[in-house]
Amino acid sequence: MTKQINYGLNEVIEGSHRTLSEAVCMYAIYYSDWTEALEELSQYYQTDEWTNSGYGQDLPRHRELNQRRNRALRGVQEVGRELRSIGLDVDLAEWASVDEYFEDAA
């Protein structure tokens, strides 16, 4: 099923500084960054550093990966709002939320 959007690829989205083409591209990049960070976190949880640390919430690598995840997720959500404002259904991270614990240095 296709959906017609009344925006040209190079037309700036109202209330944004991005064109439709740029927004779609940025959404894909942020989403890719977010999923890569999730994958790295998953792999990190299998390492000896994590398993032997007890409660490793504040380990530098864990903090770094979560901050990276947060940055990418904020990008996905921001661009997603812009794309939804013109009628595109982009809900790939609809239920995800930024982890506020790691926000102090993100």
The pLDDT of residue 1 is above 50 = no
Q: pLDDT at position 44, please?
A: 95
Residues 6+ apart with CB under 8 A from 49: 56, 59, 61
Q: What is the pLDDT of residue 103?
A: 74
Residue 106 has a pLDDT of 44
- At residue 5, the pLDDT reads 62
Query: Higher confidence at residue 82 or residue 36?
Result: 36
Q: How many CB atoms lie within 10 A of CB 100?
A: 9
For range 29-43, the mean pLDDT? 96
Nearest to 66 by CA among 93, 91, 44, 95: 44
Q: List, for residues 43-102, the tens digit of each pLDDT value.
A: 999 999 998 887 778 899 999 999 999 999 999 999 998 888 888 888 777 677 788 777
- Output the pLDDT for position 71: 94
CB atoms within 10 A of CB 14: 9
